[in-house]
Chains A and B, each alone.
Chain A
C-alpha cells in the first residue's frame, strides 16, 4: 500500500514536469505549427540563469522570476528573429513545413554549445529551495519530499493561471482563435503576428518553470533537459498536440506510467516503456486523449 502511494505521488511529480514541457510544445505548435526542439535549449539557458541567481543570492524565488522573464524574452526572440525570417523566405511546399523544425533542432545544438562555453560541460547541482528529505508516514518512509510537493503545487498554480488566461480573457480568446483559424481570426480584426509571438512567450515561460522545478531533483548540465523534451513531446502527442488540457493529461498519464515502470518493473525499461505508452495511446486514440475530432462538415 505504501509502495502504491509512493508510486502515485512520484508519478504525479514526474507528470507535473512533463505537463509543463508538453504545454510549452503545444503552445508553440498551436501558434506556428512548429515542433520546437529548441525548447529544451531555451529552458537550459533559463535554468543556468536561475542557477547563477540562486548561487549568488540564495533566493530561489528571485531565480524563478529571472528564469521566467528570460524564458519569455528568449521565446519572443526565437519566434521574431528566426521563425519569421524562415517563414518569409520559404512559404510553400514541403521545405516550408520542415525547415522551421530543422532550424529549431539546429538552434538546440547552438544553444547547448554556447551554454557549454559559458558554464562548462561539468555537472552542477542546483540547490533545492525546500527539504528533499522523504516524508515519514506512520513510521514508514514514502519516497516523496517537500520538493516533490512544491513541484506539484507550482505546476497546479501555473496551470490555473494559464487556464484563466486562455479561457477567461480576451487575450486568451485571441490566442485560441489565431491558433485554430488564423485567417478567420485576421478577418475578425485580430493581429495574428503579435499573437503568435505571444504563444512563444508563454511557451518559453512554461519551459523555464519546468527547467527550474526539475533541475533540483537531478543535476544541471548543458544537455540535462534533453530527456525532458522527449518526455514532454510524448506527453503532448498523447494529449493530442492541439489541446492544452490534453498536454496536462498526457503528462500525468506518462508520469504515472513511468513511475509504475520504475517501481514495479525496473529502471532500465523506463525509456522503452514510454514509447510503448505512446504507441498504445496512438492506436487507441489516434487524435490524442483530448485531440480534436473531425469537425462536422455539413
Chain B
C-alpha cells in the first residue's frame, strides 16, 4: 500500500520554479532516498511535504488524505515529523527540553517520558547530556538530538533533510545506521534527503533522483546506484 503519494507537484520561490511536475510514491515502512545536487529542489520538496512551504499545483497525500497547504503543527498530529536542514535543535534549550517539545502536543507526560527513554536508548550520548544546553553539543550530537526530538512526536512518516551535512564520515555511518534501525524496528516510513548519494542509496529501499527541480529517475535503490542518471544529476552531463 502506498502511504505517501506525490503527483505532479510544482513549487516556486517567487518567479523561480524550484520543483516541476514531480510524481513518486513511498510504500508504508519503506525508506526512500531523495538524491540530487545543490539546487535540485530536495529541501523544497521536504518543506512542502511538512507544511512549511505552499505548493503551486499538484497533490500530495499521506494515508489517502491531502497534506498540502496544511500547517506543520497539524501535520505532526497526523504522524509526519520533519527534521529540517542544519541540525534542527533549539540551542537555547537543554537537551532534555529539546526532546520534550516534540511531545508537548500529545499532553501525555508518561507517553512522552517513554518516548524520550526510547530516543536515548537509540542515541545513548544524549542521555549523558540531558541537562546540558543544546548549544554545547557537537554537530553529530545535535543531529541525534534533532532526530530524537522528531521521534518523541511518535511519527509514522519521518522526513529527514541532509542528516549527514557537515559531519565526519564515522558519525555519518552511525547516524545512517540508526535511521535504518528505526525504519526496521518501528516500521517507520522514511523520506531521506541527501547529497551524499552513495551512503543514502545503500540504506534506502527506493530512491528518487532530482536535477534542477525535475525528477530524472526513480525506483529501486540498488538499481539507481548503477543508473547513469545518478552521475549526470551530479555532474551535469
User: A residues within 8 Å of B by Cβ?
Assistant: 170, 173-174, 176-177, 180-181, 183-192, 292, 295-296, 298
30 A/B residue pairs, CB under 8 Å, sorted by A: A170-B100, A170-B104, A173-B93, A173-B97, A174-B104, A176-B92, A176-B97, A177-B101, A180-B92, A180-B93, A183-B52, A184-B84, A184-B89, A184-B90, A185-B90, A185-B101, A186-B72, A187-B50, A187-B81, A188-B102, A188-B104, A188-B153, A189-B73, A189-B101, A189-B104, A189-B106, A190-B101, A295-B135, A296-B91, A296-B135
Inter-chain contact B76/A189, CB cutoff 8 Å: yes
Tell me if B125 counts as interface (CB < 8 A to partner A).
Answer: no
How far apart are the CA atoms of A176 and B134 in the complex, in Å?
14
B92 to chain A, nearest CB (A): 4
Known: A177-B90, A181-B90. A186 touches B71 (CB 8 A): yes
Chain B residue at minimal CB-CB distance from A170: B104
B105 / chain A contacts, CB cutoff of 8 Å: 188-191
How far apart are the CA atoms of A152 and B136 in the complex, in Å?
36
How far apart are the CA atoms of A298 and B171 in the complex, in Å?
13
Chain B contact residue count (CB 8 A cutoff): 32
How far apart are the CA atoms of A189 and B90 in the complex, in Å?
14
A26 to chain B, nearest CB (A): 14
B101 / chain A contacts, CB cutoff of 8 Å: 173-174, 177, 185, 188-190
Inter-chain contact B77/A189, CB cutoff 8 Å: yes
Tell me if B149 counts as interface (CB < 8 A to partner A).
Answer: yes
Known: A184-B84, A298-B138. A191 touches B92 (CB 8 A): no
Tell me if B10 counts as interface (CB < 8 A to partner A).
Answer: no
Task: From the candidates A177, A187, A292, A298, name the one contacting B72 in the complex (CB within 8 A).
Answer: A187
B12 to chain A, nearest CB (A): 15
Tell me if B82 counts as interface (CB < 8 A to partner A).
Answer: yes
How far apart are the CA atoms of A298 and B52 in the complex, in Å?
25
Tell me if B88 counts as interface (CB < 8 A to partner A).
Answer: yes
How far apart are the CA atoms of A292 and B90 in the complex, in Å?
13
Chain A residue at minimal CB-CB distance from B99: A188
Within B157-171, the residues touching A (CB, 8 Å) are: 166
B93 / chain A contacts, CB cutoff of 8 Å: 173, 176-177, 180
Inter-chain contact A184/B73, CB cutoff 8 Å: no
B76 / chain A contacts, CB cutoff of 8 Å: 187-189
**Could you mark each residue 136-176 of chain B with 1 if its beta carbon is under 8 Å from any beta carbon of chain A, else 0?**
10110000000001100100000000000010000000000
Known: A176-B93, A186-B71. A296 touches B102 (CB 8 A): no
How far apart are the CA atoms of A170 and B106 in the complex, in Å?
11
How far apart are the CA atoms of A276 and B101 in the complex, in Å?
41
How far apart are the CA atoms of A176 and B92 in the complex, in Å?
9
Within B77-128, the residues touching A (CB, 8 Å) are: 77, 81-84, 88-93, 97, 100-102, 104-106
B66 to chain A, nearest CB (A): 19
**The 8 nearest A-B residue pairs measured at CB:** A189-B105, A189-B76, A188-B101, A180-B92, A186-B72, A295-B91, A181-B90, A188-B102
Inter-chain contact A190/B104, CB cutoff 8 Å: yes
